[in-house]
Amino acid sequence: MTVAEATVKVLNKVGLHARPAVVFVKTARKFKSKVEICKEDECVDAKTLLKVLSLDVVYGDVITIKAEGEDAEEAVKTLVELVESKFGEE
């Protein structure tokens, strides 16, 4: 079982709320692997919108994206790139 993990800083102005969260969750759901997003010591299922929103990720927060499964490395890489692109908002 492949496990991948990366840490990334959220730099879009609204953080991981509303539209960016929907884009993040939809992207996470494309992968077969189990995907989690973590802020500080709290980790939630990255494929569940309400759980992602519950982390209250704001501008400047550092999040960790973890994945476990056959496409874990690709999932983490894709989600990190999404966050780094500021969800295409800016």
Specify burial of residue 1 (Cβ count, 10 A radius: 0-12, 13-18, 19+): exposed
Residues forming beta bridges with residue 34, ordered by sequence position:
68
Residue 32: how many CA atoms within 13 Å on its side-chain side?
5
Q: Global pTM? A: 0.95
Looking at per-residue pLDDT, the higher value among 43 and 1 belongs to 43
Residue percentage of the chain with pLDDT more than 70: 99
Rounded CA separation 89/39 (Å): 22
**Enzyme catalytic residues:** 17
Q: What is the CATH number of the domain that holds 69?
A: 3.30.1340.10
Residue 62, number of CB atoms within 10 A of its CB:
12
Encode pLDDT of 51-81 as tens digits: 999 999 999 999 999 999 999 999 999 999 9
> Can you give the residue range of the structural domain that contains 52?
3-88
90 falls in which pLDDT band (50, 70, 90)?
A: low
Q: Whole-number mean pLDDT of the chain?
A: 96
Phi, psi dihedral angles at 46 (to 5 degrees):
-75, -5
Give the CA diameter of the chain. Answer: 36
How many domains would you assign to the chain? 1
